[in-house]
Amino acid sequence: MEEKVLIAGEALKRNKMAVYYAETKDEVLPIVLSLLKKGEVIGMGGCTSAMECGVWAYLKKCGDYNFLDRIPLENEKDKQLLCHYMLLANTFISGANAITENGELYNVDGNSNRVSNIAYGAEQVIVIAGKNKIVKDLDEAIYRVKTVAAPKNALRRKVNTPCAKIGKCISLNLPSPTMTDGCRCEDRMCCNYLVSAQQRYENRIKVILVNEELGF
What's residue 21's pLDDT?
Answer: 98
Report the distance separating Cα 57 and Cα 81, nearest Å.
22
Residue 119: CA count within 13 A, CB half-sphere:
13
**Rg of the chain on CA atoms, in Å:** 17
Q: CATH assignment of 3-135+196-210?
A: 3.40.50.10420
What's residue 72's pLDDT?
Answer: 72
Strand order in 98-100's β-sheet? 134-135, 98-100, 105-109, 192-196
What's residue 180's pLDDT?
Answer: 96
For residue 158, what are the CA distances in angstroms to 26, 94, 187, 189?
Answer: 29, 21, 10, 12
What's residue 78's pLDDT?
Answer: 79
Map out the domains of the chain as residue ranges. Answer: 3-135+196-210
Non-local (6+) Cβ contacts of 128 within 8 A are 28, 32, 47, 49, 50, 53, 55, 93, 94, 95, 208, 210, 214
Report the distance separating Cα 190 and Cα 182, nearest Å.
8
What's residue 39's pLDDT?
Answer: 96
Residue 197: CA count within 13 A, CB half-sphere:
4
pLDDT tens digits in sequence order for the chain, 216 residues long:
999 999 999 999 999 999 999 999 999 999 999 999 999 999 998 789 999 999 999 999 999 999 998 777 777 887 888 888 899 999 999 999 999 999 999 999 998 899 999 999 999 999 999 999 999 999 999 999 999 999 999 999 899 999 999 999 999 999 999 999 999 999 999 999 999 999 999 999 999 999 999 999
Number of other CB atoms surrounding residue 77 within 10 Å:
8
- Report whether 58 contacts 85 (CB < 8 A): no
What's residue 82's pLDDT?
Answer: 85
What's residue 46's pLDDT?
Answer: 79
SS3 assignment, position 11: helix
